[in-house]
Amino acid sequence: MKKRILKKTKIIATIGPASCGERVLKTMFRSGMNIVRMNFSHGDYHTHESTMKNVVAAAKHVDVPAVILQDLAGPKIRTGDLYKEKITLRKGRVVVLTARECVGDENRLFVNYAKLPREVKRGVTILLNDGKIKLRVLSIAGSEVRCKVVEGGEIKGRRGINIPDVSLSISSLTEKDKKDVKFGIQHEVDFMALSFVRKASDILELKDILEKAHADIGVIAKIETRDAIENIDAIIAEADGIMVARGDLAVEVPPEDVPLLQKMIIRKCNRVGKPVIIATQMLESMIHSRVPTRAEVSDVANSILDGADAVMLSEETAMGEHPTETVRMMAAVAMKIESGYPHHEALPIVHKKEKTDDKMDVVDAISRYVVSTAYDINARSIVALTESGFTARMISRYRAQQLIVVMSPNERTLKRSMLSFGCYPVKIKAFKYVGEAAERVRRTVEREGFAKKKDTIVISAGVPFGKFGSTNTIMVREV
């Protein structure tokens, strides 16, 4: 029997200079890290390859899956270099944004988006440096956009630019991203996060590249633009998961809107069984401190109570002074909240959905009754027999009290299931018959420590086995 951290909420930790060593990665896995995020906005391929090798080695040593999420940089619009480290843009002054490359100063700044003069108009608001500086467009002439400084402040070179009121024509996949995608395919990452998604076609563009390469990689849509909020239903339908990237989102929309948007996105994802990640500044004070603020603890807790599948650490583990302690703290918060999770509230919330086709109605009914049956008979575990992972995701959205043991012969399916709430993967040999499957499940859950002799388990599967989306069977067995 294996000893496990029985935590349902998944923790994604960003790996960087503070955490890329094999020894640190081992302690992070032991402390509750489930998925490694590699941020391709930074680093080179040699560094990424070295980190991946360490992740695989550390996971093998700790006996957990090595699940890697590659976060693509995306089309971040930025200012150029400055003539000194930082300058001050003063309120009321005029500054020119130009598409012609130059060294910036207090009067003129280079912007790395050539279409900017064609896509903005007079009166549009432009935000610099994560929204700290606010400009208003006065006029456009050729390659130059003349702006008035409405809110001033200090700015360094290569700072981000946001234009919330304009739907830009820029693609979510840059040329750099396309090279990074090839690298990710070659190194068999499990997920790719697409930055600055605006519409469903952005997801389809990346999926088309993956399909042509015969790469079974999940696509996570990062929600951080106003356009993405307006197109959220179509984006959720096409993506394999959603990340609520609250940093840029809180620049694109008023920050007071973000909590309700977070809840809305989680609710929509829960209803259709798409994993949802909450990210940005969750335990930011732990970059330097060993103790989080009370507000940060509440943020993590409320994200879980809202229905998040995963919570994510960024600079806290990539650059922070206490990467392992930060993971351990997040895991402790998750386990405490899960111990009092209002499981009974998830069933009616998820079930309030529009009528779908008959096939989905069967899947909805079976997955719902798997969870309610497990509750009624006080089952020890729920087992999802699945080829694609679909069965497990449909059950996971109901937030069962029991762990969901995901059994599949498909290695990629098992690793992808690590993103879903309460799911733990176990590889089994392929099977053809119900009786054969049930007997193999009984032996496996006992061996893996998910149940003991005389415990009751609930098994869900699709018959015939191996057919995608055919969840239609529920079985109750004693171990």
Q: Could you write out the DSSP letters of every residue in 274-343?
A: --EEEESSTTGGGGT-SS--HHHHHHHHHHHHHT-SEEEESHHHHT-S-HHHHHHHHHHHHHHHHHT--H
Of 435, 411, 415, nearest to 424 (Cα)? 415
Q: In this predicted structure, what is the pLDDT of residue 358?
A: 54
Show the CA angle centred on residue 26, arms to residues 322 and 182, nearest 5°.
Answer: 95
Given a cut of 80, whether residue 264 has pLDDT beyond it is: yes
Given a cut of 90, whether residue 346 has pLDDT beyond it is: no
Claim to verify: residue 226 and residue 132 sit in the same structural domain: no
Claim to verify: residue 158 and residue 194 sit in the same structural domain: no
- Last residue in a domain, options 140, 162, 184: 162
Angle 358-376/343-351 helices, nearest 10 degrees? 170
Share of the chain above pLDDT 90, in %: 82
Mean pLDDT of 346-362: 58
Kindly report the CATH number assigned to the domain that includes residue 370: 3.40.1380.20
Residues 230 and 242 sit within 8 Å (Cβ to Cβ): no
Given a cut of 90, whether residue 345 has pLDDT beyond it is: no
Q: In this predicted structure, what is the pLDDT of residue 199?
A: 95
Question: Quick check: helix, strand or coil at residue 262?
Answer: helix
CA 238 to chain centre: 15
What is the four-CA torsion angle of 184, 190, 195, 198, rounded to 10 degrees?
120
Q: What are phi and psi of 50, to 5 degrees?
A: -65, -45
Cα 287 from Cα 146, distance rounded (Å):
39
Mean pLDDT of 92-103: 96
Claim to verify: residue 254 and residue 376 sit in the same structural domain: no
Given a cut of 70, whether residue 314 has pLDDT beyond it is: yes
Kindly report the CATH number assigned to the domain that includes residue 214: 3.20.20.60
How does pLDDT run across 48-81, given as a tens digit for each residue? 999 999 999 999 999 999 999 999 999 989 999 9
Q: In this predicted structure, what is the pLDDT of residue 351?
A: 57
Cα 137 from Cα 48, distance rounded (Å):
40
Question: Quick check: helix, strand or coil at residue 379?
Answer: coil
Given a cut of 90, whether residue 241 has pLDDT beyond it is: yes
Q: In this predicted structure, what is the pLDDT of residue 204?
A: 98
> Is 1 within a domain?
no
Claim to verify: residue 263 and residue 333 sit in the same structural domain: yes
Cα 215 from Cα 131, distance rounded (Å):
37
Question: Quick check: helix, strand or coil at residue 142?
Answer: coil
Mean pLDDT of 338-357: 67
Residues designated as active site: 37, 78, 222, 280
3-state helix, strand, coil in the chain (%, to 5): 40, 25, 35
Q: In this predicted structure, what is the pLDDT of residue 431?
A: 77
Long-range contacts: 378-381, Cβ < 8 Å, 24+?
378/456, 379/455, 379/456, 379/457, 379/458, 379/476, 380/450, 380/451, 380/452, 380/455, 380/456, 380/457, 380/479, 381/405, 381/445, 381/450, 381/451, 381/455, 381/457, 381/458
Full residue range of the structural domain in which residue 417 is found = 344-478
How does pLDDT run across 178-235, given as a tens digit for each residue? 999 999 999 999 999 999 999 999 999 999 999 999 999 999 999 999 999 999 999 9
Q: CB neighbours of 221 closer than 8 A, spacing ≥ 6?
A: 193, 194, 197, 202, 203, 228, 235, 236, 238, 239, 241, 242, 243
> Mean pLDDT for the chain?
92
Claim to verify: residue 231 and residue 374 sit in the same structural domain: no
Of 441, 417, 421, nearest to 65 (Cα)? 417
The pTM for the full model equals 0.92
Claim to verify: residue 177 and residue 285 sit in the same structural domain: yes
Claim to verify: residue 454 and residue 350 sit in the same structural domain: yes
Mean pLDDT of 402-430: 94
What is the four-CA torsion angle of 342, 348, 350, 351, rounded to 10 degrees?
160
Cα 140 from Cα 116, distance rounded (Å):
10
> Is 122 within a domain?
yes
Claim to verify: residue 455 and residue 310 sit in the same structural domain: no
> Is 306 within a domain?
yes
> Is 140 within a domain?
yes
> Is 439 within a domain?
yes
> Is 368 within a domain?
yes
DSSP category for residue 449: T
Q: CB neighbours of 93 closer than 8 A, spacing ≥ 6?
A: 106, 148, 149, 152
Report how many domains make up the chain.
Answer: 3
Strand partners of residue 69:
37, 191
Cα 23 from Cα 17, distance rounded (Å):
13
Of 67, 75, 125, 74, nearest to 419 (Cα)? 67
Question: Quick check: helix, strand or coil at residue 238?
Answer: helix
Claim to verify: residue 390 and residue 472 sit in the same structural domain: yes
> Is 285 within a domain?
yes
Given a cut of 60, whether residue 357 has pLDDT beyond it is: no
Q: In this predicted structure, what is the pLDDT of residue 236?
A: 98
Strand partners of residue 89:
153
Claim to verify: residue 371 and residue 457 sit in the same structural domain: yes
- Last residue in a domain, options 104, 132, 162: 162
Both tokens of 412, joined, read: 């990629």
> Is 81 within a domain?
no
Strand partners of residue 462:
471
Claim to verify: residue 298 and residue 370 sit in the same structural domain: no
Q: In this predicted structure, what is the pLDDT of residue 406?
A: 96
Q: How confident is the model at residue 349 (pLDDT cuts 50, 70, 90)?
A: low
Claim to verify: residue 269 and residue 285 sit in the same structural domain: yes
- Last residue in a domain, options 339, 359, 391: 339
